[in-house]
């Protein structure tokens, strides 16, 4: 059996490796760089910058731990060079893995010739054709581009543009208070930018529990990030402000027009599936503007064609794409389906971090699920006190039988802590099971025993 996988992001290349390890022949097609958006312009480079920002904040606050740092420097060029080195090292590692003898790695832009044949156009214009028994579409997503006058002005960038910047903007305006916008806000606030976030919704992180979102916004506000919520952006214009190249973001709130002056404007209003280069209509694969339609096994309307990751328009996370690939491959090979995609943790790498798994309180109310909300605070946790990071809370939702249906955290190492609850949820465990589990003392994980 030969499988063609279109797209070498986390979902595509990890599925290719797993298929090859299981003895299948794979043709993996990628038009850009192996690793996709996550490795090259998303998860990895931003987390490298997060680490630099974290160290910078630790140095600034070292006096609170009795350590005097009278002089220190911040070299943005070195920060960005480190980011590039991290990305290059990981990309080289991916390419080494893709040297597996059962994987044929092809560079070029793919489109369907028919439901079993993919045409690939290389950079020099040559076209080659590849035929497979099974095809998996994993072409990911692209930044959403809102129809805002002035969005094409110099200084208005998407996340990839900000990741390639050679200066820290004095004033950074971010349109969008989702995960991407908040992470860049947290990073560049630490780097010295005056950050303003302009968001259409009434609260940040619309997919997160709103109790946690509100508290995280308040925490980030204390760090100097200015939030303009419930704001409808009408235009971006060149400004005659105090410095050349300045921009003005104009928006309205409650019928009153306001504006923010900025040197750089980051468009962070989300992402959309990369649908329009594949000729899906010609082969009968069903899709909507939200993405390719799939069933529980990631099958499209054409049974031998599957789709995974952002292209399906569901949970746009790298780890979701990877596990969707496992589910698809198990189905292709007739193996038992043991992957529970309903337990899908997510994290925001701000300072402090936030993380979530399962249902929010709002979703439970909308579905008529009777839940109990249990809360615990990091200010009562010994390890958090020792770390000097007591700003945070954990919120656990349990049903009438005590089973965990959701967990939402903001505070130190939330992205790590959430996995304990994800494991309990996968095992259909209850809050009593958490309380009976022995936890190291002192540890941040003890916050779960306080629920």
Other Cβ atoms within 10 Å of 71 Cβ, number: 4
Q: Could you read off the pLDDT of 305-346 as tens digits, one per residue?
A: 999 999 999 999 999 999 999 999 999 999 998 899 999 999
Q: Report if residue 27 sits inside a domain.
A: yes
DSSP-assigned beta bridge partners for residue 25: 2
Q: What is the pLDDT of residues 72-99, one digit of tens each?
A: 999 999 999 999 999 999 999 999 999 9
Establish if 161 belongs to a structural domain.
yes
- Considering the domain architecture, whether residues 234 and 295 belong to the same structural domain is answered as no
Average pLDDT, the chain: 96
Residue 306: how many CB atoms within 10 A of its CB? 29
Mean pLDDT of 284-297: 96
Q: Average pLDDT for residues 237-263, to the nearest whole number?
A: 86
Domain span holding position 234: 156-269
Over residues 39-49, mean pLDDT: 97
- 188-213 tens-digit pLDDT: 999 999 999 999 999 999 989 999 99
Which residues, 6+ apart, have CB-to-CB distance to 46 below 8 Å?
A: 159, 163, 183, 184, 187, 349
Per-residue pLDDT reduced to its tens digit, 131-159: 999 999 999 999 998 899 999 999 999 99
Contact status, residue 58 vs residue 30, Cβ threshold 8 Å: no
**CA–CA separation, 448 and 435 (whole Å):** 8
277 and 132 belong to one structural domain:
yes
First to last CA, the chain: 50
3-state secondary structure string across 150-198: CCCCCCEECHHHHHCCCCCCCEEEEECCCHHHHHHHHHHHHHCCEEEEE
Does 375 reside within a domain?
yes
Q: How many domains does the chain have?
A: 3
Same domain for 249 and 326, yes or no, is: no
Same domain, 94 and 187: no
- Residue 174, phi then psi, degrees to nearest 5: -115, 125
Longest dimension (CA), the chain: 68
Whether 277 contacts 192, CB under 8 Å: no
Q: What pLDDT score does 241 carry?
A: 52
Same domain, 320 and 366: no
Length of the chain: 451
**Nearest 10 degrees: CA dihedral of 55, 56, 58, 64?**
160
Residues 198 and 261 in one domain: yes
The verdict on 12 and 137 lying in the same domain is: yes
- Does 148 map to a domain? no
Catalytic residue positions?
Answer: 441
Could you tell me if residue 347 is inside a domain? Answer: no
Cα Rg for the chain, rounded, in angstroms? 23
Give the per-residue pLDDT at 240: 65
Residue with tokens 């606030």: 189
Q: Based on the domain organization, do 76 and 216 belong to the same domain? A: no
- 342 located within any domain: no
pTM over 0.85: yes
Same domain, 132 and 7: yes
């Amino acid at each position: 059996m030969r499988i063609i996988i279109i797209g070498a992001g986390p979902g595509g290349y990890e599925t290719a490796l797993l298929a090859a390890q299981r003895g299948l022949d794979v043709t993996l097609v990628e038009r850009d760089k192996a690793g996709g958006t996550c490795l090259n312009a998303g998860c990895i480079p931003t987390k490298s910058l997060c680490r630099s920002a974290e160290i910078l904040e630790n140095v600034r606050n070292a006096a609170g731990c009795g350590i005097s740092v009278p002089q220190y420097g911040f070299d943005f060029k070195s920060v960005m060079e480190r980011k590039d080195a991290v990305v290059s090292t990981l990309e080289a590692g991916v390419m080494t893995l893709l040297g597996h003898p059962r994987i044929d790695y092809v560079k070029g832009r793919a489109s369907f010739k028919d439901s079993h044949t993919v045409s690939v156009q290389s950079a020099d214009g040559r076209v080659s054709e590849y035929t497979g028994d099974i095809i998996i579409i994993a072409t990911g997503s692209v930044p959403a581009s809102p129809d805002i006058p002035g969005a094409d002005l110099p200084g208005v960038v998407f996340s990839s543009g900000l990741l390639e910047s050679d200066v820290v903007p004095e004033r950074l305006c971010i349109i969008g208070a989702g995960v991407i916008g908040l992470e860049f806000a947290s990073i560049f606030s630490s780097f010295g930018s005056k950050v303003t976030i302009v968001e259409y919704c009434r609260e940040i992180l619309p997919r997160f529990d709103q109790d946690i979102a509100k508290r995280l916004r308040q925490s980030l506000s204390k760090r100097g990030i200015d939030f303009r919520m419930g704001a409808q952006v009408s235009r971006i214009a060149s400004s005659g402000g105090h410095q050349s190249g300045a921009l003005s973001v104009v928006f309205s709130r409650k019928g009153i027009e306001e504006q923010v002056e900025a040197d750089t404007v980051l468009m962070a209003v989300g992402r959309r599936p990369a649908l329009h280069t594949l000729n899906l209509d010609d082969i009968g694969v069903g899709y909507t503007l939200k993405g390719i339609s799939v069933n529980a096994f990631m099958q499209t309307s054409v049974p031998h064609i599957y789709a995974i990751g952002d292209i399906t328009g569901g949970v746009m996370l790298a780890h979701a794409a990877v596990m969707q690939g496992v589910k698809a491959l198990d189905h292709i090979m007739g193996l038992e389906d043991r992957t529970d995609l309903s337990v899908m943790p997510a994290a925001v790498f701000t300072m402090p971090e936030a993380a979530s798994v399962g249902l929010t309180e709002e979703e439970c109310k909308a579905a008529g699920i009777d839940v109990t909300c249990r809360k615990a605070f990091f200010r009562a946790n010994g390890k958090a006190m020792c770390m000097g990071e007591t700003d945070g809370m954990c919120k656990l939702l349990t049903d009438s039988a005590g089973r965990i249906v959701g967990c939402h955290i903001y505070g130190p190492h939330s992205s790590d802590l959430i996995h304990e609850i994800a494991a309990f949820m996968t095992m259909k465990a209850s809050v009593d099971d958490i309380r009976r589990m022995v936890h190291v003392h002192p540890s941040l994980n003890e916050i779960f025993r306080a629920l």
